[in-house]
Structure 1
Amino acid sequence: MSAAAFIAQIAPIAVQLRIEGSPIFPSVRIAQSGLETGWKIPPWNNLGGYKVGSGKLTPYWRGKIVTKGTWEVYDGKRVDATAAFRAYDSVEDFFRDQDLLFENKRYTGVRTAQSPEEQADMLQACGYATDPQYAQKLRNIIAAHNLKRYDTEAEVQKQMIGELKKQIEQLTAEQAQLRQRLETLESRARVDVPAWAREAVDAAVKAGIVDTPEGGSLDFYRMLTVMHRTGHIGNN
C-alpha cells in the first residue's frame, strides 16, 4: 500500500474522531500510524504499536493478541525484542482504544498540546516510544505529506456542526414559543356559551349542526344566533 492510499483510508477516521472530541490531531494520528506500520494496515489493525500492557479489556479491545518482533532504545542502544500487541477488529477500534490510553495522567501533555508539533514532542516526552528520534520523525512525516490539512478539515467541520446545532436550538426555541402563543390564543378564543346564544346553540345541537356547544368562540356563537333568528336553525 502506498503512503497516499494509506492516508486516504485512515484520514476520514482520524478526522471524525477529532470532530467527536479526540485530543489527538489527525495529522499526528496519521503520521504515527504511518511511522509505526510502514504505511501498511496490518490484519490485526494495531497502527500504533500498542502493547497488551495491563491486559485490561475495554469496549474496543476484547483480548485478542498478536506476538510480533519489535525494537526499543535503551541507554542509546537499539535492542531487538518480541512483544505481545493488542489486536483489533477494526482500525477505528484501535484509535478509540488508544484515546482511552491517552486519558491516563501520564499523557496529560499529549492531551493538552496546542499544536501537532507540540503533540509529537509530548508523545516522546511522555514515553509512548523509546526512539529518541520519534518526535522528529513524526514532525517530518506531517510536513512531507501535508497532513495538517486534515487538522484544518476537522476544525472546519466542527465549526459547521456547532453552527448547525445553534441554529437547531434556536429553531426549537422559536417553535416552542410559537406553540405557546398558539395555545394561548386558542384558549382565549374558547369561551363559555353566552346566555344570549343558549337558545340558538341548543337548537343547533338538536338539529345536528354541531356536536357539542362548548369551546366555541364569540364569533361562532354570533353566527349560530343569526342563523337561528333568521330561521335557518330550529324552524323546520
Structure 2
Amino acid sequence: MVTRQAFIELIAPIAVKLRLDNSPIFPSVRIAQAILETGGKVNAWNNLVGYKVGSGVLTPYWSGDRVSALTWEMVNGVRYDNVPSDFRAYPTIEAGFRDQDLLFQFSRYVSVRNAKSPGEQTQALQNSGYATDIAYASKLNTLIQTNGLTRYDEEVVEMLEQLQAQIAALQTRVGALEGQAALKEVPVWAKTAVDAAVKAGLIDTPKDGSYDFYRLLTVLHRKGII
C-alpha cells in the first residue's frame, strides 16, 4: 500500500518539472488535486486529476484510450453517487498532467492560469467548474496546508533564482573574456538548451553568445535545471 508521503514524493518531482517548464499550475495545487482525485493512489490509467474524456479530441498526450469508472457528482448542491463516467487513460503520469495543462489553455480557465497564489488558483479551479464539488477549493487548501505542499512552490522559486544567478555570472564572465569572438549563430548542439532557456524567460533572443555561454546552457539543460 502506497503511503501518503510516498505518493507525494512520486508526484512532486513531476509537478516541479512541469512548473519549471511553464505549466500554469502551482506544484502544491497539482499535488493536492492528485491526492483529492485519487485518494493518494496511482490508478492503472495514470489519470490523477479526474480528467474525463469530454469532447474526445485527441492531443499530443492523449491517444484516445479511456476507462469507465463510477464517480460522484454534485448537481444543484445535491450529491449523486455511482455516476458512470469515462476517463482519459495515459501511458504515464506526466502525460496526464501535460494533457491537463492543454485543457487549462482554454478561455474558461483564464483565471486558473493567471492565479498569483495557490489559494487563488484553487478557488479559480472551483469557480471555473473544473469539479462539481462545492467544497473543492476548501478541500484542496486543506490538503496543501496539512501536507506542507507549498514547499514545492518554494523549491521552484529557489531553482529559478539560482539559475538566474548562474546566467548572470556567466554573462559577466563572457563579457570579460578578451579575444573571445561571439558566435554569430547558435551551435546545432546547443539549440535545444537555448530554446528551453528562452521559453523559461531566462534569456532573450539567443544571438551573439560565446561558445562558453552555449556550453553552460547545454550543461544546465542536461541536468534538468532549465
TM-score by length of 1: 0.73
For structure 2, list consecutive stretches of 5 or more residues without a partner in the other structure: 183-226
Matched, 1:145 2:147: yes
Matched, 1:3 2:38: no
- Gap regions ≥5 residues in structure 1: 182-236
Quick one: which amino acid aligns to residue 152 of structure 2? Y
Aligned Cα root-mean-square deviation (Å): 1.6
> Who is 2:114 aligned against?
112
Partner of 1:15: 16
Q: Residue in 1 aligned with 2:75?
A: 74
Q: Tell me the distance in 2 between the aligned counterparts of 1:20 and 1:54.
A: 26
User: What is the alpha-carbon distance in structure 1 between the residues aligned to residue 44 and residue 29 of structure 2?
Assistant: 22
CA distance in 1, matches of 2:148, 2:86: 33
After superposition, the Cα gap between the structure-2 partners of 1:41 and 1:180, relative to the gap in structure 1 and judged at 3 Å, is closer
What amino acid does structure 1 have at the position aligned with 2:112? V
Q: 1:133 aligns with which of 128, 132, 135?
A: 135
Shift of 1:167: 3.1
**Counterpart residue number, 2:58:** 57
Secondary structure of the 1:12 match is: helix
Question: Could you tell me which amino acid in structure 2 is paired with residue 162 of structure 1?
Answer: Q
Q: CA deviation at 1:173?
A: 4.6
Q: How many residues align?
A: 180
Shift in Å at residue 56 of structure 1?
A: 1.2
1:32 is matched with which residue? 33
Q: Could you say what secondary structure the match of 1:83 adopts? A: strand
What's 2:192 paired with?
none
The answer to whether the 8 Å contact 1:19/1:155 transfers is: no
* Deviation of the 1:180 alpha carbon: 4.2
Whichever residue aligns with residue 82 of structure 1, its letter is P
Encode CA deviations 1:42-81: one digit per residue, 9 max, x unaligned: 0100000000111111111111111111111001111231
- Report the equivalent of 2:162: 160
Structure 2 distance, partners of 1:163, 1:20, is: 18
**Which of these residues, 96, 99, 107, is aligned with residue 97 of structure 1?**
99
Q: Once the 2 structures are TM-superposed, how far is the Cα of residue 172 of structure 1 from its aligned partner?
A: 4.2
Contact preservation (8 Å) 1:70, 1:82: yes
CA shift in 2, pair 1:170/1:113, >3 Å: same
Query: Is the helix fraction higher in 1 or 2?
Result: 1
- Give the C-alpha shift of residue 20 in structure 1: 1.5
1:98 & 1:180 partners in 2: Cα distance?
45
Larger radius of gyration: 1
TM superposition score normalised by structure 2: 0.76
| SS across alignment from 1:11 | helix
Aligned to 2:203: none
Q: Percentage identity across aligned positions? A: 50
**Letter of the 1:55 counterpart:** G
Secondary structure of the residue that 1:95 maps to in structure 2? helix
